[in-house]
Amino acid sequence: MVLFITARGVTYGTGSLYEGWDCQEPALRYAFQYIGVTDIQFIHANGLDLGDEARQQGLSEAVQGATNELKCLLYKFPSP
């Protein structure tokens, strides 16, 4: 598994002004799939340049996503 945690100035999700402009995630997926890695996860801190409220929401969602991924990894690989 490969986990990418990214910081983004805007939001590229469905319904955003920049929907479809994301070149980072598809490029990383392609490069890692090319070398045989198929379990690829992303956590994005979105909207960091869109004002204080958007920045706070983006960071909060990224922290929550990272926490969830860590819980999954700890469940998959418990300590001895």
Give the 3-state secondary structure of residue 54: helix
Q: Using DSSP, state whether 75 is helix, strand or coil.
A: helix
Residues 5, 65: Cα–Cα separation, whole Å: 9
Residue 3 one-letter amino acid: L
Query: Where do the H-state alpha helices sit in the chain?
Result: 24-34, 52-76
Residues above pLDDT 70, as percent of the chain:
100
Structural domains for the chain:
2-76 (3.40.50.360)
Mind listing the pLDDT tens digit for each residue in 21-74? Answer: 999 999 999 999 999 999 999 999 999 999 999 999 999 999 999 999 999 988
Query: What pLDDT score was predicted for residue 78?
Result: 84
User: What pLDDT was estimated at residue 40?
Assistant: 96
Please check whether residue 76 is in contact with residue 39, taking contact to mean a CB–CB distance below 8 angstroms: no
Name the amino acid, one letter, at 29.
R
pLDDT surpassing 90 at residue 79: no
